């Protein structure tokens, strides 16, 4: 599979055995290169699964679920997940380097993701022993006086987990961990651009004692595998993080099964004139460019109260221009390459379109290969792609505002959202914003990119398709079974 040298850089073979079926790693006839987008080095050539692999992987998961649903109690599942968490901690630097190489994410951010993934698996271990039911008061309605009963939560069966490239390790952990904690089996389809750290996670689970078949892996192009995976009758649930377009395809193809999807956002930040300006700017710069802006809750639009707009703009642009771009493995680098040059060219095109329509570049705005500099704009039109769509890159737009009601309307304008943020020292304003912002998470005096892995997480409005966050993901991945006893017989 994937081994490592002393400096944690993956050692590659011609076509790696990256398909896992019933506990055996396999290679396919065709492969797909995983590229370090900074220098175009081939990191690995993963196997491209086909229809036969899909059927075998799902069959393996179904058989393993039926075999182990009674024989692998909660405490054993918890032990496996806890051991996996320990492995992630012990090998954090190896995982971090793999993340950095395959995604372009700076090594500092990649190290944080590796530690977060360990925490996610630890949370899954803890929650595995807390999947509790309740008793029902049957005597609350006439005729139920002589009945008693309770409900329990049971696993769904086979969970298909489809993960993206931007947080390839932790987002895989957020799907695999809760599914295994709940007692289900998993078929994992990691991102084709960045599958290597997710494969290492699977290796860690196997090393931790997970019985064969409870996790299977299909690697390759999403467009080749998608319909065959999501439409399979033996898949009980699809959990997906990715684009809105991908979510629509899955919804169309899945048929009658449970879906949990996180489909991106366009995160707004409101800056009131009573905020701590220095700390607010610092938080917004970090929230805008962390992970090269390829972050579904990264800051994209900042609305600044008019009285402090010029001060905020000057300070924000200055701090942004001080960020350094380059090789993501250099610990002194703030901005690494985007996932590939095509994505960097897309962001460049969106910025250029905005500039042609009278937007002003305050910092950045330059591309070299897959590296796009941290960029700030003002005077961006309301109909620009940078405002209306998810930029998913290191670009932020600034807007002045005067009226609270109008800025809430602007913040709420996109029809899909996850987080919004407000910076203020006024408790009343903060609580009003928490009520008025049409999102699933309101960050007060934090940027939109703050996330604790224990908290509920998912989309709002058109993007509302279930919740992640370990405890809440488990709720999505179980079904209730009611037991009722008639005491008269």
Query: pLDDT tens for residues 414-423?
Result: 988 999 999 9
Q: What is the CATH number of the domain that holds 236?
A: 3.40.605.10
Pairing of strands 419-423, 267-271: parallel
Residues 218 and 298 reside in one and the same domain: no
Q: How confident is the model at residue 103 (pLDDT cuts 50, 70, 90)?
A: very high
Residue 459 domain flag: no
Give the model's pLDDT for residue 249.
94
Domain shared by 241 and 370, yes or no: no
For residues 424 and 369, membership in a common domain is answered with yes
Same domain, yes or no, for 228 and 91? Answer: yes
Q: Is residue 262 annotated as a catalytic residue, yes or no?
A: yes
Looking at residue 4, what is its pLDDT?
35
pLDDT for residue 464 is more than 90 = no
| Segments in 69-106 forming alpha helices (H) | 74-90, 92-103
Q: Are residues 37 and 62 in the same domain?
A: yes
Averaged over 152-178, what is the pLDDT? 98
Q: Quick check: is 136 in a domain?
A: yes
Range of the domain at 21: 3-263+465-481
Q: Does 460 map to a domain?
A: no
* pTM tops 0.85, yes or no: yes
Indicate whether 338 and 382 sit together in one domain.
yes
Does residue 10 carry a pLDDT above 80?
Answer: no
Instruction: Check pLDDT > 70 for residue 13.
Output: no
Structure-token pair, residue 344: 């960097």
Of the residues 296, 341, 378, 468, only one is catalytic, namely 296
Same domain as 271, residue 255:
no
* Tens of pLDDT, residues 284-293: 999 999 999 9
Share of the chain above pLDDT 70, in %: 97
Mind listing the pLDDT tens digit for each residue in 219-250? 999 999 999 999 999 999 999 999 888 999 99
- Structural domain includes residue 8: yes
Q: Is residue 488 part of a domain?
A: no
* Residue 399 CB neighbours (<10 A): 18
Annotated catalytic residue within 127, 262, 348, 378: 262
Asked whether residue 47 falls in the same domain as residue 174, the answer is yes
Residues 300 and 154 in one domain: no
Same domain, 257 and 237: yes
| Inside any domain, residue 487 | no
CATH number, position 434? 3.40.309.10
Given the DSSP bridges, would you call strands 237-241 and 147-155 parallel, antiparallel or unpaired? Answer: unpaired
Looking at the structure of the chain, the number of domains it has is: 2
Average pLDDT value for the chain: 95
DSSP three-state, residue 418: coil
pLDDT, tens digit, 9 for 90 and up, residues 178-201:
999 999 999 999 999 999 999 999
Q: Are residues 130 and 41 in the same domain?
A: yes
- Going by pLDDT thresholds of 50, 70 and 90, the confidence category of residue 11 is very low
Concatenated DSSP letters of 201-216: HHHHHHHTTPPTTSEE
- pLDDT band at residue 9, thresholds of 50, 70 and 90? very low
pLDDT tens-digit readout, 69-88 = 989 999 999 999 999 999 99
- pLDDT number for residue 6: 34
Q: In what helix (H) or strand (E) does residue 355 lie, and over which residues does it extend? A: helix 341-356
Residue 85 falls within a domain, yes or no?
yes
Q: Are residues 259 and 332 in the same domain?
A: no
Q: Of the candidates 175, 170, 238, 243, which has an alpha carbon nearest to the alpha carbon of residue 451?
A: 170
């Amino acid at each position: 599979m994937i081994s490592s040298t002393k400096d944690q850089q993956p050692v590659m073979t011609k076509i790696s055995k990256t398909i896992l079926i019933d506990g055996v790693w396999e290679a396919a006839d065709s492969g797909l290169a995983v590229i370090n987008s900074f220098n175009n080095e081939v990191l690995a050539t993963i196997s491209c699964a086909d229809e036969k692999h899909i059927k075998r992987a799902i069959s393996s998961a179904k058989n393993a679920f039926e075999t182990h649903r009674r024989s692998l109690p909660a405490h054993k599942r918890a032990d496996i997940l806890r051991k996996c968490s320990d492995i992630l901690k012990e090998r954090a630097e190896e995982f971090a380097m793999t993340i950095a190489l395959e995604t372009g994410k700076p090594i500092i951010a990649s190290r944080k993701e590796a530690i977060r993934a360990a925490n996610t698996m630890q949370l899954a271990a803890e929650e595995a022993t807390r999947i509790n039911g309740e008793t029902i008061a049957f005597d609350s309605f006439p005729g139920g006086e002589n009945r008693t009963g309770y409900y329990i939560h049971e696993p769904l069966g086979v969970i298909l987990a489809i993960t993206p490239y931007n947080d390839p390790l932790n987002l895989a952990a957020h799907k695999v961990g809760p599914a295994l904690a709940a007692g289900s089996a998993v078929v994992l389809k990691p991102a084709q651009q960045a599958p290597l750290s997710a494969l290492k996670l699977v290796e860690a689970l196997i090393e931790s004692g997970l019985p064969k078949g409870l996790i299977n892996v299909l690697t390759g192009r999403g467009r080749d595998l998608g319909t065959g995976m999501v439409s399979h009758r033996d898949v009980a649930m699809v959990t997906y993080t990715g684009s809105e377009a991908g979510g629509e395809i899955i919804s169309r193809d899945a048929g009658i099964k449970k879906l949990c999807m996180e489909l991106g956002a366009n995160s707004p930040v409101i800056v009131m004139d009573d905020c701590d300006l220095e700390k607010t700017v610092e938080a917004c710069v970090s929230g805008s460019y962390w992970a090269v802006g390829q972050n579904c809750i990264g800051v994209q639009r900042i609305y600044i109260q008019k009285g402090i707009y010029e001060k905020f703009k000057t300070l924000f642009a200055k701090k942004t221009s001080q960020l350094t771009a380059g090789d993501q493995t250099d610990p002194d680098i703030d901005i690494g390459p985007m996932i590939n040059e095509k994505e960097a060219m897309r962001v460049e095109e969106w910025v250029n379109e905005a500039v042609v329509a009278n937007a002003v570049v305050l910092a950045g705005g330059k591309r070299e290969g897959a590296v796009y500099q941290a960029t700030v704009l003002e005077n961006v039109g309301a109909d620009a792609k940078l405002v209306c769509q998810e930029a998913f890159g290191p670009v932020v737009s600034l807007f002045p505002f005067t009226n609270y009601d109008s800025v809430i309307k602007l913040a709420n304008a996109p029809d899909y959202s996850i987080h919004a943020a407000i910076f203020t020292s006024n408790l009343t304003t903060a609580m009003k914003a928490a009520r008025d912002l049409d999102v699933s998470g309101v960050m007060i005096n934090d940027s939109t990119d703050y996330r604790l892995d224990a908290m509920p997480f998912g989309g709002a409005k058109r993007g509302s398709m279930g919740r992640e966050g370990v405890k809440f993901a488990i709720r999505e991945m179980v079904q209730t079974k009611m037991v009722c006893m008639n005491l008269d017989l």
